[in-house]
Structure 1
Amino acid sequence: MSQVRMPAADSSALDDEVLITRVASRDSSALEQLYDRYARIVYATALRMLGNAELAEDIVQETFWRVWRRSTSFAIGRGQVAGWIFGIAHNLCIDELRRQRSRPTTAQNEHEEQAMLDQPDAQSDVVSAAIERERRRIILQALAQIPPEQREVLELAYFRGLSQSEIAQRLNSPIGTVKTRTRLALQKMRDLLHNQKIGADDLHD
């Protein structure tokens, strides 16, 4: 089984959108640059979700194979390339967890897998924001402007990876309250980020 290789050199010279356009034109060197840029983060995310190094390596390989095959479907200007890549990886992890759920497991494993399945789909967007320093700075500034109780649920969800049920348990609050605070916080964040020229696609319900 192939292992996730380390980035060969600094591949930050070209924008992601330029690279994905070249990948769509079947430029394998552009795919290699995207791989060097994001493979380790995809691997770390898959390892955290699946808890298995070999499966995480498989997720990395399958993710970039799908990037190669589906690059022509990526719409420039409608989202971040990084978020798209992480979304592919996240969905592959979810599929793997569902396959595992179809097999006999212990109650503890079932609980852990369900917690992963409950994670917000926006997780990939948050990872994308984390690797883009300026964008992360703007998001953190926006977070500081929303009410503390709303900010708390977003931070637990998007920066610590907790599901809404886990947040409710940690805060000792009804899950309905957590969902309401999340919805209000996301609405406020969208307004603030729109003013900073960051689209609503950066955060999802």
Structure 2
Amino acid sequence: MSSTDLQPAQLKTWLAAVAQKDASAFRSLYDATSPKLFGFALRILVKREAAEEVLQESFINIWNSASSYQASLAAPMTWMTTIVRNKAFDILRRTDHDVEIDADTFDKEVITAMESADPTPLEALEMSADSKALAHCLARLEGLHRQAIALSFYHDLSHSEVADQMKLPIGTIKTWIRRGLERLRTCLGKLEQNQ
């Protein structure tokens, strides 16, 4: 299977098997998706060694986090691309000198696209009806509540890390996340009933 004709159903099957620590499914998943994910990391980081490091760390994360993948929230490639993107940005944020960015070759459009609130072309293409419903319901939350939930769930930050990042008391963050999740549940329930 080439990386250009990746089938979401097959990727979901492999991810489910990886969640059960199936090494051969992991190998199949890696073989099918690593060229595309490596290319994505390389566009962000430019340096081949850094992109290889990101790919390795990302697949370790995929192995360890496969059980938390939720097909209702994102297509498999979107989920894996998000992991690669986050790992790449972690490397860019490091203060040590593991990565040197050549300003002449660094693709500014990649950073602009990654920082944009708009979905990437890949995300827009693979967004399922469920993830569109989630995006609709998230958009209805107050901005700071939405930000707290996004930092917690999409960036895997603890409540205390979210509080540090947003410069707010942890109690406030916990309340916002709890209330936000309740509102999301209610909103998604209403959308489901209307279908």
Aligned residue pairs, count: 133
Root-mean-square deviation (CA), in Å?
A: 4.1
Question: What is the CA distance between 1:51 and its match in structure 2?
Answer: 1.0
Instruction: Compute the TM-score of the two structures, normalised by the length of structure 2.
Output: 0.52
Deviation track 1:78-127 (CA, whole Å, cap 9, x = no partner) reads 21111110000011111111126x65x99973994876443336788533
1:119 aligns with 2:113: yes
**Match in the other structure for 2:103:** 109
Is residue 2:125 matched to residue 1:98? no
Equivalent in the alignment of 2:38: 43
**Residues 1-205 of structure 1 aligned to structure 2 (within 5 Å):** 15-99=10-94, 109=103, 112=106, 116-120=110-114, 126-127=121-122, 197=129, 199-200=131-132
Unaligned runs of 5+ in 2: 140-195
Matches of 2:74 and 2:8 in 1, distance apart? 20
One-letter code of the match for 2:18? Answer: V
TM-score for the superposition, normalised by structure 1: 0.50
Unpaired segments of 5 or more residues in structure 1? 1-6, 136-192
**Partner residue, 2:171:** none
Whole-angstrom distance in 1 between the partners of 2:106 and 2:64:
32
User: Conserved in 2, the CA contact under 8 Å of 1:46 and 1:89?
Assistant: yes
- In structure 1, the residue corresponding to 2:35 is in which secondary structure? helix
Partner amino acid, structure 1, of 2:112: D
| Matched residue SS, 1:75 | coil
Aligned pair in 2 of structure 1 residues 22, 98: CA closer, same or farther (>3 Å)?
same
CA distance in 1, matches of 2:75, 2:8: 17
Partner of 1:142: none
CA distance in 1, matches of 2:113, 2:61: 22
Question: Contact conserved, 1:83 with 1:125, CA < 8 A, in 2?
Answer: no
Contact 2:43 2:110 in 1 (8 A): no
Asked if structure 2 preserves the Cα contact closer than 8 Å seen for 1:87 and 1:124, the reply is no
Q: Deviations over 1:27-86 (max 9, x none)?
A: 011111111111001111111111111111111111111100011111232211111100
Residue pair 1:16, 1:81 contacting (<8 A) in 2 also: yes
Q: Which amino acid aligns with 2:43?
A: R
Distance change (3 Å), C-alpha of 1:13 and 1:82 = closer
